[in-house]
Structure 1
Amino acid sequence: MAFSGGQAGTQQLIGKAGQTGASVNGASANYSTPPVQIQGRTMVPLRETLTMLGMSLGNSGGFQTVGSLQFSGTFNQILLGGSSIPLDGNLVQRGDTMFISAKLLADGIGAKLRAGEGGEFYITLIRESGGDPALPQPRFTTDKDSYGIGEPVKVEEFSFHPLGEPFGLRWSNLKPAYYKPGPVTIALDAVNGSGRGNRLTRTITITDRVVNSPLSFAVKYGEVGDTLDDNTLARPTLPRQDVAFAGPKFLFSDSPESPERVGLLYKDTFDGEARLLAYHMNNASVVARLYVVARNVSDAPATVRTARIGDTAPARVEGVLGQVTLLSFLTGRQDSRIQLGAGESALIYVSPLLAPRTGASLMADLSSDRKIELTVAMGIGEDALSTDSLLALAPLPADTNHVRGTFPSAARRFTLDLATTLPAKAIIGDPGDDPAEEGQDVLSGAKVSLSGNYGVTYEVTLKNAEGVVGAIAPRGGLYKGVVTVEEVETGRKEIVRLPRSGVLSTPNQPMIFLRSGAKTVKLGFIPASGSHLPVHLAFYRP
């Protein structure tokens, strides 16, 4: 049994057969299914009536119980004080609603029933103070007694422990807003370290006045990390303006993604700036390591600089490899330099030991003042391999589902003007709307396309973005990555995980990553390795 307050007092429910309107201690309340009269007896909805009285059904010994009433699981048996009561005239199911005789309910909960004219009834319950006063005392209130559909529910919580000891709180049925008319009971449990405590409930009424849909509520009040319910996926696509391919040369090693034996995975040269992305799983039956070797192929001394690097290893979950590597890369700063004589080589990365079916992911910004040959290789076994041994390995053939190669640019820049009718979207990773980078696999000589543009940085400028909400929807499968957000006028910068935990999996539940407070916003989005594309960046205006 649960009461809505911690003090003794009287709870009086007044209702009428055939009417949804009711009152509790003079405050307006509403049945979603009205009471009825059957063969001269007033029958009330069991659960809704208990809720209005601040009570609920409990469970004991296979029976649902309240007061001295017991109901079998299928409601084909009633006990009052342990004695069987006939079903006829006392309990009836109509649709999804179980009705009970108002007299039987009053007798079972120790209340007084008074019948008025025309099916009117008064149920008066005198309640005693509940709970143990030496245990934590839950206290809360809502800012209103009734709310419209989709109207924000504001709660003020002020629980305490009589002895000043620590305690925990557990809410039941507390939501930011509700979307079905009728009474709603919110419960708060305050418990000590042994799990003992007290419960407080409060019943509010949801009217049929529509304030917000679930989507409009989330757009107005949702926080970064929350999801939206948006079943309309066919949003107009925003045109890209000022499109440019920029950034350094892009060195991409992802094929064979899961090598079973030792060998070269990637090789090519660069001078100036380059970005490397290597992503591989160990599909051998023994431990392995991922290596990256830099060799000076010029005839003069060279300096190889690693300006920024991020990696994840070892990990079995592909989405973790992609997201954590991006977080590590975006938050890490490194300014290491290696001097290489003409023809000299050095390791610039060695992964930890990779158990079978675990992998390593690496992203690094590199530069050199001379031509450098960069090699990515997989070595099998616990013993580390020398650079000479690695450079002598034979290339492994690429697999049919993944890509390796060198591409001309590691970044795409474009502008989206949000001074238009929203919602609208931008698509990333779909070849129809977002063409793949074209490059070459030097090991095989083949032309290759970087489907999905994994690892490429999308530098997106949002114009007229003040007040706009941005959300990401997975459209190709599971997605787990990050996006950087920079508000130009306010200077606010943030790295947002997509999502903060778990994975994005439902296309019609995009996750909020932006609630803009500036006219101009710069986004940095890198399609994460181990995730699926395309994704939609959807934009809304409250």
Structure 2
Amino acid sequence: MNLKSKILAVLAAGTLCFPQMAMARHAADSGATTVVHVEKVQHVPAAPKEGEQTNLMQRIRSILDTADKEQKQEPEAVAAGRTAKPLSNELTRWEMESRDEGGTLLFSDSPEYVDTNGILYQDSVQGDARVLFYHLNNSSVPRKLAVVLKNEYDGPNEITITRSGNGAPSSDYLKVGKATQLEYFRAEKNQKLSLPKGTARLIQESMNMTILQPGELTYGVFDFHAEHSVLVTVLMLDAYGDPVTAAEELPVLPKDEMRLRGTFKGMDRVMSAKKIYNPQEDGGVYFMLADDKADKYRKGIDATDGSQVTNYGNYGINYRLELPVDNGGVKYYLSPLGGVYAGAMRSFHSTKEYTLFPTPGGRTYFGNLTAPETDEVQIRREAGHWQIEQGTELASLGQSNGRGETVFEFSPPGASNLPVAIVMLPQK
């Protein structure tokens, strides 16, 4: 996410870009990609156990093939108090309502390109919390990034790590972003950390041995519960320095122009469909995530100077998407509309067991084949009507069958472009 791209992204209300050098690195990669071809349907299958991408236009054409049959059944539907809706490749917006809840998010992404040692973000929390860091070693020497927890309570304190993801540092930013999300969504944890009175320690001991070479990115997310107040410090320091000592001695570094750091109350967002989805009546539908229109960006406070900040992209916010279905089969997809994208999601279908979906499956990233929207297409989509264009890429998020509720967990991945659309399509 270079500075020029990020400024353009904010002006575009929701498109966050990663460095152009990463784009060049990935341009030569190959992998299974699903693209909508209007004239010719083509699909190269990906690994089936990794949420492989599926050709949406092929599904739409299958629906169109059965449209005549459904039209003949319309009188029976009307008699039952329902109106059958013709299906086409134009999707309609599915209305969602949202609420923010949960603990406190500490977000550290400014300065993103770190040239020297210093504190990147710092604030005190108690109870449920999440810390997200996204920083690149922009110096000419090896360094390391650390998160230090300092007990502020006048007695012993206990920290419980409930979930975490921290991809290995790399100059392949998309790979780091995806690896972090896959680890974060894979499983919950119950790791106990004891903090006696007046002590401090790393949130993860391996940070002390993880070296960032020049040009490498590190990205991590840690959910935890603190019985009493702890001071959380995200810092960059010498490769062989002591993080606990450095957290006491180093100055707070000035933020960059994007000011992407801060403390945000309510670290989780629950989005629920306003009505139950009936695939045969409602047809193909979509809703947007992290576009700052249908899904608004969060506001917070930079604890290092007291200024108000905006989380452009809602990074570190964990979404719970609640999608009740009346009857019939439904297929779900994610489509990146801002550019190249690499992340992960997981879903629950009326059980406690979940399915993990790399987005995309079978390769590191996708979205590079989806052409930028024209002004006309964007205006219509924001008004509630989205025409699937040639070249649109989608990643499969599985399917559901029969009456019930499908729940997805999603969080905007670091190094990827936003916004994204979630698509729900009737299954034949």
The TM-score, its normalising length taken from structure 2, stands at 0.71
Provide the residue aligned with 2:366 in structure 1: 504
Instruction: Find the partner of 1:344 among 196, 199, 215.
Output: 199
The 1:234/1:266 distance shift into structure 2, 3 A limit, reads: farther
Moved more, 500-509 or 453-462: 500-509
Instruction: Find the aligned partners of 1:269 and 1:335 in 2 and give their Cα distance.
Output: 22
Superposition pairs of residues 354-365 of structure 1, within 5 angstroms: 354-365=212-223
SS for the counterpart of 1:313 is coil
Instruction: Find the partner of 2:261 among 389, 404, 412.
Output: 404
Kindly provide the amino acid, as one letter, of the partner of residue 478 in structure 1: V
For the pair 1:267 / 2:88, whether they are aligned, the reply is: no
SS for the counterpart of 1:397 is coil
What is the CA-CA distance between 1:297 and the residue it aligns to?
A: 1.6
Q: 1:313–1:354: 8 Å Cα contact kept in structure 2?
A: no
Kindly provide the amino acid, as one letter, of the partner of residue 432 in structure 1: K
C-alpha deviations, 1:349-372, integer Å up to 9, x for none?
326101111121111111111111
Q: 1:275–1:410: 8 Å Cα contact kept in structure 2?
A: yes
For the pair 1:515 / 2:370, whether they are aligned, the reply is: no
Provide the residue aligned with 1:225 in structure 2: 52
Instruction: Find the aligned partners of 2:94 and 2:185 in 1 and give their Cα distance.
Output: 27
Superposition pairs of residues 17-416 of structure 1, within 5 angstroms: 214=41, 224-230=51-57, 235-241=91-97, 243-349=98-204, 350=207, 352-380=210-238, 382-401=239-258, 403-416=260-273
Paired residues, what number?
326
C-alpha deviations, 1:281-312, integer Å up to 9, x for none?
11110101011111112222211222222211
Structure 1 segments of 4+ aligned residues over 4 angstroms from their partners: 229-234
What is the CA-CA distance between 1:233 and the residue it aligns to?
A: 8.6
SS for the counterpart of 1:516 is strand
For the pair 1:457 / 2:311, whether they are aligned, the reply is: no
Instruction: Find the partner of 1:444 among 297, 301, 305.
Output: 305
Kindly provide the amino acid, as one letter, of the partner of residue 316 in structure 2: G
Unaligned segments of structure 1, at least 5 residues:
1-177, 181-212
The TM-score, its normalising length taken from structure 1, stands at 0.56
C-alpha deviations, 1:191-237, integer Å up to 9, x for none?
xxxxxxxxxxxxxxxxxxxxxx849xx9xxxx941332559996322
**Whose strand fraction is larger, Structure 1's or Structure 2's?**
1
The 1:309/1:226 distance shift into structure 2, 3 A limit, reads: closer
The 1:386/1:484 distance shift into structure 2, 3 A limit, reads: closer
The 1:368/1:492 distance shift into structure 2, 3 A limit, reads: closer
Moved more, 461-470 or 371-380: 461-470
Q: Provide the alpha-carbon RMSD of the alignment.
A: 2.7
Asked which structure has the greater CA Rg, the reply is 1
Q: 1:264–1:395: 8 Å Cα contact kept in structure 2?
A: yes
Q: 2:51–2:359: 8 Å Cα contact kept in structure 1?
A: no
Instruction: Find the aligned partners of 1:224 and 1:312 in 2 and give their Cα distance.
Output: 20
The 1:458/1:386 distance shift into structure 2, 3 A limit, reads: closer
**Whose helix fraction is larger, Structure 1's or Structure 2's?**
2
Q: Which has the higher contact order (CA 8 A, sep 6+)?
A: 2
Instruction: Find the aligned partners of 2:132 and 2:123 in 1 and give their Cα distance.
Output: 13
Instruction: Find the aligned partners of 1:528 and 1:402 in 2 and give their Cα distance.
Output: 18
SS for the counterpart of 1:468 is strand
What is the CA-CA distance between 1:485 and the residue it aligns to?
A: 1.1
Instruction: Find the aligned partners of 1:300 and 1:418 in 2 and give their Cα distance.
Output: 52
For the pair 1:526 / 2:411, whether they are aligned, the reply is: yes
